[in-house]
Amino acid sequence: MEAADPPRASRDPKDDVFLATAVAAEAEYLVSEDQDLLVLGEYEGVKIVNTLSFLRVLEQRDEGAE
């Protein structure tokens, strides 16, 4: 059985597999430096952020846990 092609969501169709995987995994974040993904901001509940933004999220969570 072959996997179905992911729905077209990004400006670059090669990136759609990453979006589909993040959604299927129920990920909270997709971390990327790819502008074709970052321009989306969010896709089906998955926040799309760059590395620096994600590090800030982790730092804020650490501060909240103390």
Give 9 or 51, the one with higher predicted confidence.
51
pLDDT at 2 over 60: no
pLDDT digits (tens, 9 = 90+) for 3-45: 567 778 999 999 999 999 999 999 999 999 999 999 999 999 9
| pTM given for the model | 0.85
Distances (CA, A) of 25 to 5, 22, 30, 64, 66: 16, 5, 11, 25, 29
Give the SS3 label for residue 47: strand
For the purposes of burial, counting CB atoms within 10 Å of the CB of 8, is it exposed (0-12), middle (13-18) or buried (19 or more)?
exposed
Q: pLDDT at position 4, please? A: 62
**How large is the average pLDDT for residues 41-54?**
98
Please give the biggest Cα pair distance in the chain. Answer: 48
